Chain A
Amino acid sequence: MTTAPTANGHLSSEPLTLDKSAIVDFAARFDPQPYHLDADAAEESIFGGLCASGWHIAALATRLISETLLQHGHPFVEMISVSQLNWSRPTFVDEQISVRIALVASLSESPIPDTHTQNLQVDVCNGDGAVVATMSATAAIAAEPTPGAPQ
C-alpha cells in the first residue's frame, strides 16, 4: 500500500508498531542501557518509561524511507550521509512510527557506482503525529529505476 504524495510534495510511509520485544531485542544487542531494557528502571530514568533506542528508530526510519521511495519510483540503494539527526521525543512500547519525506535537490556526486544522490528531509512521527525524530540525509538512488517498480 502506498499513500499518495501530499499536496506539498511530501511522501508518507505506512506506520509500523514497536512492541516491547522489538525494543528490548534491539537494545539487548546494541544499546543495553536500563531505560531500553527494563520497565521499572526506565520509570526512574531520564525518559520516564521503557523506550526504543534512537539507533533502532534511525534504522527503522531508513527501512520506511527505502520502501516509500521505491514505491514512488526512486530506487533507494543506501544512505550515504546524515548531516543532522535529532531525537526530539522517546518512542515508548506499542507506539507507532512513520516517516514523512520531502525530496530536496542534491548536487553532490555519489560515491557508489551507477547511482546519483538525493537529499531527503525526513520527519519521523508517532501515531499521534508528533515528531519523534528529524533527519537531513543524502541517499544514493539507482540510476535506472528498478524493473517493475511503479513510476
Chain B
Amino acid sequence: MSALYLRDRWFEDLPIGEFHVFGSHTFSELEIVEFAEAFDPRPQSTDPVQARLNHRQGLVASPWLITAMWMRKMVDYMEVYAQGVNDGRRNGAGVAINDLQWLDPVRPGHTVTYTYEIIAKPDRVIRQKWGMIRSRNEAFNQYGNKVMQFEIDILAERRP
C-alpha cells in the first residue's frame, strides 16, 4: 500500500500541529432556506424578502448550517482517506465544543473553506479504548474573512 490512510493511524500516531483543509462549499439560497425551515427557523434564514428588512439586511445561513457543513466536509474528507472503517466501529465521537463563534454572516453564493488543526491531546482515556484529540477548526469565506471558529474534542481509537 502506497497511500497513507489517516485512519490506518491510531490515537498515538496523530501529531499535534497536523493541519488539514477539509474543502470548500458554496451555499445556495435554497439550502439556506431549507435548512432553516427544517431545523432552525428564523425569518433572516427562511424568507428572502422579509430578510432584507431584518437585522442582517438580507438572507443569512443559520449558524448551525455552517457548523453542520463543517461536519459534512470532515466526514467526506476522512472517507477519502479511510479504509475498512465504513461499518463505524472505529468512528469516534465528538464530546465537547469550546469557543464556538460565528464571526461573519454567510449569505447565498458565499464559498466557505474549512480548516482543521490538532492543537492538543488531553490526557483522558475513555473506556480503555479511546483517547481524545482537540482540534481548532476555522472557516473562511471567499474574501478571506473568518466566518466561524471552534475547538472540538473528538475521541480517537487507541492502539490495541
Contact = CB atoms under 8 A, between A and B. Distances in A.
5 contacts: A30-B68, A38-B88, A46-B93, A60-B40, A87-B94
B42 interface: yes
Contacts of B56: 78, 112
B-side binding surface: helix, strand, loop or mixed? mixed
Interface in A57-80: 58-60, 62-63, 66, 77-80
Contacts, number: 111
Contacts of A41: 87-88
Interface of B: 39-42, 44, 55-56, 62-64, 67-69, 71-72, 75, 86-89, 91-102, 130, 150, 155
Contacts of B91: 33-35, 45-46
A63 B99 CA distance: 21
Interface residues of A, number: 42
Nearest to A32: B75
Contacts of B89: 44-45
A-side binding surface: helix, strand, loop or mixed? mixed
Contacts of B99: 81, 83
Nearest to A112: B55
Contacts of A45: 88-89, 91
Nearest to A90: B93
